[in-house]
Structure 1
Amino acid sequence: MIRLVRIPLPRRTAEYLKTYGAKVEAADDRRTTAEKLWRHNRTVRTKVHPELMRTLGRMAAGHERCMYCGDNQGCAIDHFEPVVVNPLRAFDWANHLLACTVCNSHCKRDAFPRDERDGSPLLLDPTREEPLRHLHLALSVGTYTALSVKGEKSIEVFGLNRPVLVKGRTEAYTRARVFLGQWQSAHRRGDEAAADRIVHLAWNQPLADVLASMFHQAVHPAAAVLFAGEEDLLPVLTDQSTRAAFGRDLPAADPPIATEADTPMP
């Protein structure tokens, strides 16, 4: 899971959402009304859903990758806060994410854990916060560990450590190293067009969270430990020209990563 930037909807689509959101708010049975409008209303299905999918696809990593697992193509509009939990957010643009069938229909479904103290969500919304502050990716083995309760619940609900993702991340790590080497070669020989193509290809691979984690961990105070045995990567990942070329809003370094036993939970 990587940080994503929410972009504005086309004006007409935003107006549709406002109109149907008002219908839900005015209804006596908000849940039934929201579900009926979302699933069965002709205008919603033919005019709202397609534009939401297009806009979410533009926001997503790679080629319309799922915003949760980052592996499969996103093929569904997920309500981050499910309609059954809060029907008033059924037509709230800030509540819509792009998800694959596995994450949306098999893993998350209507799950929405909350903090017992203040009711705040305990799942990560990558359009609202930096997931890497809650999740640590062990690059060499492809598994996530939690740095917070949000990270723990997100791993559990989204199935972020299911075997196919773990295997995919280890392969993505190898691919990322190849891309970085190719970028260095192109940059050194002054072929900036080729270097730019390599950057584009690298970020458009499935599981872009691996590449983001590599850059994130390279500037971490514990980087020497995190890349033990692979110290050759650190000069590449920390080089300012490399970081500028790969150009995403890479997260700043956090305090040293704690062990599971001493990681504070919010």
Structure 2
Amino acid sequence: MYCGDSRGTDIDHFEPINSSPLRTFDWMNHLLACSSCNSNSKRDQFPCDANGTPLLIDPTIDDPYDHLRLILSTGFYRGNTPKGKTTIDVLRLNRGDLQRGRELAFPRCQAMLRDYLRMQDSGNLREATKMLNALQEQPFIGVLHAMFRTAPNPGAEIVLGGAEVLEALKALNFYTG
């Protein structure tokens, strides 16, 4: 739920038991997380602002892209808000393995989108559907979501890696610009 690496092995209490014992068995307080994010980074940290508002992105209610900006070419996250900056710091979202994984996921997404478009255009719908399923089930799916979010912006064709990638996003109806 945090880093997007798809290695979820732990159940994290979003609001830690020591600070919110009444949420111990609250289903919406249980998030699937990798052990690195849960046990090594977040642990029992739960920073709040002066008003008591949590400064971590809650993936059950917050849209991460309101708080984070992914630099697609490098896999680096930047915080757009205090909540985004704190989440990056506490969960160490820019640690080397994650940044590298996102950096490598970007050209993989580009290639898969181009392949999807070619299969779709040639009428090979069965293979196009397989490619779309593979694209949606890969690690670092947040890269694909960032690409969708980038598509309507000016200059998206350059950032996303060409007209074919942008056209594939349009064909998937994720972008209607």
TM over 0.5: yes
2:150–2:156 CA contact under 8 A, matched in 1: no
Amino acid at match of 1:78: D
Cα-to-partner distance string for 1:187-236 (whole Å, 9 max, x where unaligned): 0011222111111101111100001000111113xx41783583435632
Which residue of 236, 242, 248 maps to 2:172?
Answer: 242
SS at match of 1:195: helix
Q: How many residues align?
A: 177
Q: Calculate the aligned-residue CA RMSD, in Å.
A: 2.1
> What's the counterpart of residue 106 of structure 1?
40
> What's the counterpart of residue 216 of structure 1?
149
Map 1:1-266 to 2 at 5 A: 67-116=1-50, 118-220=51-153, 223-224=154-155, 227-228=158-159, 230-232=161-163, 235-236=166-167, 238-239=169-170, 241-243=171-173
Note closer, same or farther for the CA distance 1:203–1:211 as it changes in structure 2 (3 Å cut).
Answer: same
Instruction: Tell me the distance in 1 between the aligned counterparts of 2:27 and 2:161.
Output: 42
Moved over 3 A (4+): 225-231
Instruction: Tell me the distance in 2 between the aligned counterparts of 1:229 and 1:88.
Output: 45
TM-score (normalised: structure 1): 0.62
Unaligned runs of 5+ in 1: 1-66, 245-249, 254-266
Cα-to-partner distance string for 1:125-144 (whole Å, 9 max, x where unaligned): 11212101110000001100
Instruction: Tell me the distance in 2 between the aligned counterparts of 1:189 and 1:101.
Output: 43
TM-score (normalised: structure 2): 0.92
2:14–2:30 CA contact under 8 A, matched in 1: yes
SS at match of 2:58: coil
Instruction: Tell me the distance in 1 between the aligned counterparts of 2:110 and 2:169.
Output: 14
2:116–2:128 CA contact under 8 A, matched in 1: yes
Instruction: Tell me the distance in 2 between the aligned counterparts of 1:185 and 1:237.
Output: 9
Amino acid at match of 1:68: Y
Note closer, same or farther for the CA distance 1:173–1:212 as it changes in structure 2 (3 Å cut).
Answer: same
